[in-house]
Structure 1
């Protein structure tokens, strides 16, 4: 008898949910929504089945097991029905996208939010709001930005893109974020400043912010093929010029944590100087603005950079370092 009641209740819930999902209009009535849909849980069948698990008869225990197997394939569909009904109730109650974010507990940390499968539910609700209010469009990235500032969100997006389970939604979020900046006519320099990369100093060499900036540069290059730039160029400009950037990279090379990230930028600087045919002394004068008549005035950091560059320059020009006595070229 108890088994029969459980089946009836499960079927009734399914029918009620299906009715709610197919009869919605601007005057939608959901049968007893307070009991049908708990706004704190989307799995009402869990408690229902648990309430009937304590039985004494072995045959009835087997019956409950059979019922569980019977309802298992329906569980996913039931969850979708309840989720859909829940969102429609929020829509009728005029809940904002931010309200939904809080109800879905996506306000408890940006990395946690982007790793949660509930983010897809919020995305669905944003779509429902936009369909209902076409003149008041909202976005998923805008909703998250209202809770988490842009820099934290940008870094979390990069992290979420590395996980297969959250890659798709994170990619969608990043596209919305980058296109939002583009539509607001932000330059590469604007985004460099927005992301507060300069404030990170040597830690910028291993920051996820650089991945965000690089993606924005790719977008701009695609939109403006005649005015392309690179991340390397953006960093030199952002840190105040080639000389200041070179000094920062050199400091980062001395710290194990940042040395790997800095190495590629040191190589980029050296290649740039080789392409300009700068010998070590030319680097001091042309890059670091040291007086040619007083090269000894170069600081310890500048000298360290020259010491690292010199063997690269000599090898590139076939100069034997054993008997090397390079005479600085007159500039």
Structure 2
């Protein structure tokens, strides 16, 4: 607080000159923060308040808008919590003065309006405010601004999906469940549903996620990956459970969901898709819920229905060469071979009826040769076991 001491030995009536010198030397941000803290010390309170008044007059004379001063005080630094910056009080005092001086304009500039403009959008602002609610010194102020933000969205008639996108929670390259802005969105969702409770239509979190991600497949992949992150595991599992319940409520079979998750795309290796684990969970739930009805089904039945015998055999054969899917592919191949045994048995039938190969061929092309070799081994083992 050295410049306050300097002021005390100078002409008290020369405050404007002193404050210009101080800001030129230290910068407006440092000067405002130091002076604001000095107002809380009895020995420097009067002088600090006088200099802060001079500083506000200086900004007003320079025709600086509240946003200009906000940035001048470096309150727009996204790496910090501006609500914990002593300079914020100086800015709020200037905001009040600015609005008073310009009261005839009919346009009152708000704190929230300035924060939104300074942070370049609601997403960065919501993240900062949500994190600030976890700091005891800034909790009350942050919650107030978040409340103002929710009211603004409501006034603008923004549905939860709009706000979800506004906060960039639909970015497929990130984990939205690990985004501080999600809490702000969830609070808005609750408020929106409460205000519109008479409509009889409650918007759910899952419904918004599905719409934002453009379908169940992208959402399922994101949620599955989020279950592997300790901080988002529980939330991801809850949404996956809601997703399974929704599919069941829509009377979707495992084959329906298989296609819904784009696992029936031949160009891909479905065994390597994160969505496969989501589908497996639904298969188990479906069979449990369907027990005793005769609707139960298996993994191999669904894969076969989705791809057909020949295409599936080739997919499995390729997947066996990939370390990450080798074990799963080998197990699935055994299930396919067991199915072939029940339906067609003899390898010659597979050659002609499944792969549609010409019996006159002298050389069996790949990958059919490799697949048939595996099936021959399986067939011989089966015959030995039967004998």
* TM-score normalised by length of structure 2: 0.58
Could you say which residue in structure 1 is the equivalent of 2:312?
245
User: Who wins on radius of gyration, i.e. which is larger?
Assistant: 2
Answer yes or no: is the 8 Å Cα contact 1:202–1:252 preserved in 2: no
User: Over aligned residue pairs, what C-alpha RMSD do you find?
Assistant: 4.1
- In 1, Cα distance between the equivalents of 2:167 and 2:204? 16
Could you say which residue in structure 1 is the equivalent of 2:36?
2
2:328 paired with 1:265: no
Could you say which residue in structure 2 is the equivalent of 1:95?
158
Shift of 1:238: 0.9
Q: 1:170 aligns with which of 226, 233, 236?
A: 236
2:219 paired with 1:137: no
Deviations 1:184-217 (A, max 9, x none): 3322222222222222445212111212222222
Please state whether the residue corresponding to 1:111 is helix, strand or coil. coil
Shift of 1:116: 1.7
- In 2, Cα distance between the equivalents of 1:147 and 1:189? 24
Alignment coverage as a number of residue pairs: 276
- Change in Cα spacing, 1:177 to 1:203, as seen in structure 2 (3 Å) is same
Unaligned segments of structure 2, at least 5 residues: 1-34, 42-82, 90-107, 117-121
Could you say which residue in structure 1 is the equivalent of 2:186?
123
Counterparts of 1:14-53 in structure 2, within 5 Å, are: 34-35=110-111, 38-39=115-116, 40=122, 41-42=125-126, 43=128
Please state whether the residue corresponding to 1:199 is helix, strand or coil. coil
Deviations 1:94-114 (A, max 9, x none): 331023213323243353424
Q: 2:298 aligns with which of 223, 226, 230?
A: 230
Could you say which residue in structure 2 is the equivalent of 1:52?
none
Could you say which residue in structure 1 is the equivalent of 2:262?
196
Shift of 1:223: 2.5
Q: Which has the higher contact order (CA 8 A, sep 6+)?
A: 1
Shift of 1:236: 1.6
Answer yes or no: is the 8 Å Cα contact 1:284–1:295 preserved in 2: no
- Change in Cα spacing, 1:84 to 1:267, as seen in structure 2 (3 Å) is farther
Shift of 1:273: 5.3
Could you say which residue in structure 2 is the equivalent of 1:65?
none
Shift of 1:224: 1.6
Shift of 1:152: 1.4
- In 2, Cα distance between the equivalents of 1:4 and 1:211? 60
2:297 paired with 1:221: no
- Change in Cα spacing, 1:123 to 1:110, as seen in structure 2 (3 Å) is farther
Shift of 1:45: 12
Deviations 1:133-161 (A, max 9, x none): 23332122222333321121221111112
Answer yes or no: is the 8 Å Cα contact 1:106–1:113 preserved in 2: yes
* TM-score normalised by length of structure 1: 0.66
- Change in Cα spacing, 1:124 to 1:246, as seen in structure 2 (3 Å) is same
- Change in Cα spacing, 1:210 to 1:297, as seen in structure 2 (3 Å) is same
Unaligned segments of structure 1, at least 5 residues: 14-31, 48-70, 320-331
- Change in Cα spacing, 1:214 to 1:101, as seen in structure 2 (3 Å) is same
- Change in Cα spacing, 1:110 to 1:179, as seen in structure 2 (3 Å) is farther
Answer yes or no: is the 8 Å Cα contact 2:177–2:226 preserved in 1: yes
- Change in Cα spacing, 1:177 to 1:231, as seen in structure 2 (3 Å) is same
